[in-house]
Amino acid sequence: MKPSVLIAAGLMAALPAAAQPQTWSWDDGTVPYVQTPMEIVERMLRMAEVGRDDYVIDLGSGDGRIVIEAAKRGARGLGVDLDPELVKHATENARRAGVADRAQFMVKDIFETDLSAATVVAFYLLPDFNASLLPRLLKLKPGTRIVSHDGGIGDWPPDERLEMRAPEKPVGVGGVSRVELWIVPADARGSWTSEIPAHGGTWRLKINQTFQVLDIDVAAQGRDLLVRNSRLRGEEIKIIVTGVVNGRAWHHYFVGTLKDDRIAGEVTVSDGNNKRSFPWTATRAP
């Protein structure tokens, strides 16, 4: 099977009944061609929080329904598909929906499509194709959202996952669909130093990272502190730390934005009775 063969995200829902293809078929005898139910399209766009500032790229765009629905929300979008007839029908569907100025469709291989301008990437592909896309997806700008119908991306764990029933789904058992969201993480790895003069002085953080999952060691005033939780969502990093600082036990809630080798944000500290906040910046060691 050639790597350019893929599952399309939609069929020609806007065509007259006599012209509509069946809801699934075989493009070369091996790869199914399946539509995404409209309620799943809606859920995918909601999960990715698509809005007017977004540029959506749909890989395997079929009848164009994902890009068209995104355009109705004010976004711009590009759908790519190998089938010229599908691209033609998607273009016509966009015109009929009144969003032709914001929805473009092209005959193109997904592996030759430039994704760098996307703020959202959507697809409904076979897992092997998703896994092949993984290296390219991880190189996208931190914060880019990736949403998939019924398919993971290699060993990259999703940030969000939802299962829902879609009665009109033409394949699978029980009409159950899985929608998953990934947010491209910033690179947080390394040793970081932070100065909080009024609360502990010099703080040191050592961060190991696997995709968006962080393993963090934190120390202040020569004492190792307990990291209770952390989250990296695009460029936003949150860390919960407890421990003794300035001779008292404190709960610390760090929230910051990571850009290049700097984190800027705020830390809120509480001892159960008193709460205060301090500016928080951290610098990564070369």
Give the SS3 label for residue 29: coil
Distance CA 255, CA 263 (A): 9
Residue 251 confidence (pLDDT) above 90: yes
**Helices 84-97 and 65-72 sit at what angle, rounded to 10 degrees?**
20
The amino acid at 225: L
The pLDDT value recorded for residue 174 is 62
Cβ neighbours around 115 below 10 Å, total: 18
The pLDDT value recorded for residue 193 is 98
Distance CA 84, CA 284 (A): 49
Q: Nearest to residue 265, comparing CAs of 277, 276, 275?
A: 277
Distance CA 127, CA 14 (A): 28
The pLDDT value recorded for residue 172 is 59
The pLDDT value recorded for residue 230 is 98
The amino acid at 278: F
pLDDT in tens, 130-173: 999 999 999 999 999 999 999 999 999 999 999 998 877 766 55
Residue 16 confidence (pLDDT) above 80: no
List Cβ neighbours of 137 (8 Å cut-off, separation of 6 or more).
115, 121, 144, 146, 153, 182, 184
Residue 49 confidence (pLDDT) above 60: yes
Burial of 17 from C-beta contacts in 10 A (0-12 / 13-18 / 19+): exposed
Identify any residues that bridge with 215 across adjacent strands, giving them in sequence order. Answer: 208
In this predicted model, which residue has the larger pLDDT, 14 or 214?
214
Q: Across residues 245-261, what is the average pLDDT?
A: 97
The pLDDT value recorded for residue 136 is 98
Phi, psi of 47, rounded to the nearest 5 degrees: -65, -35
The pair of three-digit structure tokens given for residue 184, joined into one six-digit string = 């491209």
- In the chain, % of residues over pLDDT 90: 83
The pLDDT value recorded for residue 169 is 74
Per-residue pLDDT band at 32 (split at 50, 70, 90): low
Q: Nearest to residue 132, comparing CAs of 160, 108, 148, 110?
A: 110
pLDDT in tens, 82-129: 999 999 999 999 999 999 999 999 999 999 999 999 999 999 999 999
Residue 216 confidence (pLDDT) above 50: yes
Mean per-residue pLDDT of the chain: 89
- What does 120-139 look like in DSSP terms, one character per residue? EEEE---HHHHHHHHHHHHT
The pLDDT value recorded for residue 33 is 55
What is the pTM assigned to this prediction? 0.87
Pairing of strands 201-210, 213-220: antiparallel
